[in-house]
Structure 1
Amino acid sequence: MYKIPESVLVVIYTEDLQVLLMQRADKLDYWQSVTGSKDFPEEALAATASREVQEETGIAIADGGSVPAANLSDWRVANIYEIYPVWRHRYAPGVTKNTEHVFGLLVPAGIAVTLAPREHLQYKWLPYREAADACFSPSNAEAILQLPHHLEQ
């Protein structure tokens, strides 16, 4: 089964603008926010974001969960980018571009993070500007730099 070329990027942050970054297991020098593709074409983007956050960090987004659903916000930004050649085999033949929808998730400082070991090896919290500098993905870095703007809205 091929991946759907529509995904989410979720910037997880605290009130004092610390941003969670995770080290990829398959590319040790790649640090990133939560990312992931839809499981099926009709899956709502917020559902994809919630599922990916839970799978990659163990943070449950739901009223009564680790973080209230209201803390997940759709930043209404979509990036279309060329899929890195190393990951193109995951997509149908001829698919070279992905549409990434950006979300933000406000979490309490000190929240427990449990990584999915097949995807990420370690995590760190960094001030947002340092986090942007540490990202391998330009769209991820840009999303993190936009964090203060989205808090003003």
Structure 2
Amino acid sequence: MRPFKIPESVLVVIYTPALDVLLIRRADASEVFWQSVTGSKDTPQEALAVTAAREVAEETGIDCGPSSPLASQLRDWELTNIYEIYSRWRRRYAPGVTRNTEHLFGLCVPERFVPVLAPREHTHWQWLPYREAADACFSPSNAEAVLLLPQFAR
């Protein structure tokens, strides 16, 4: 049996200097579910920046860890969202856990790239101008994070 997920996660908005945003489509959703990179901590002690870099690597194939040239482009926006976990995914968490705390990060990449998706997690990808990307996001908190991009991209 897999351990329960930790109800503390990251959301990483990957974008270019032109404010194009990478969205990836979840494999485990029956409807179209576009999102930014997301993922939970592996352990309660895992640093949020480590979680963010790990999730970016797992979900897109891009290395933005401490020894990567992109490391300085991964920025903690120092914003959090607390939201109700969708009922379809609550079984992944310990009994009684209904809320998740999500920490927002941004990753500026020099240009659009073709991500290497983890096929069990995501099936498609697309780059969109940030306003269109916000409209395409399934999650309201993800859409709001994308709309904040101009103030964090400076």
Q: Does 1:14 align with 2:21?
A: no
Structure 1: which 4+ aligned runs deviate by more than 3 Å?
A: 62-65
**Amino acid in structure 1 at the alignment position of 2:99:** K
Matches within 5 A, 1:1-153: 1-27=3-29, 28-62=31-65, 65=68, 67-152=69-154
CA contact (8 A) 1:80 1:98 kept: yes
Q: Report the Cα offset of residue 110 of structure 1.
A: 3.2
Structure 1 length-normalised TM: 0.95
> Residue by residue, what CA displacement relative to the aligned partner does 1:107-152 show, whole Å, maximum 9, x if unpaired?
1213341000000001000000000000000000000000001123
The root-mean-square deviation of aligned C-alpha atoms, in Å, is 1.1
CA contact (8 A) 1:129 1:145 kept: yes
Unaligned runs of 5+ residues in structure 1 are none
CA contact (8 A) 1:59 1:112 kept: no
Structure 2 length-normalised TM: 0.95
> Residue by residue, what CA displacement relative to the aligned partner does 1:90-115 show, whole Å, maximum 9, x if unpaired?
00000000000000000121334100
For 1:11 and 1:72, locate their aligned partners in 2 and report how far apart those are by CA, in whole Å. 10
Equivalent residue pairs, number: 151
Gap change, CA 1:103 and 1:122, over 3 Å in 2: same
Q: Percent identity?
A: 66
CA contact (8 A) 1:75 1:104 kept: yes
CA contact (8 A) 1:9 1:34 kept: yes
Gap change, CA 1:93 and 1:105, over 3 Å in 2: same
Unaligned runs of 5+ residues in structure 2 are none
For 2:94 and 2:123, locate their aligned partners in 1 and report how far apart those are by CA, in whole Å. 28
CA contact (8 A) 1:54 1:60 kept: yes
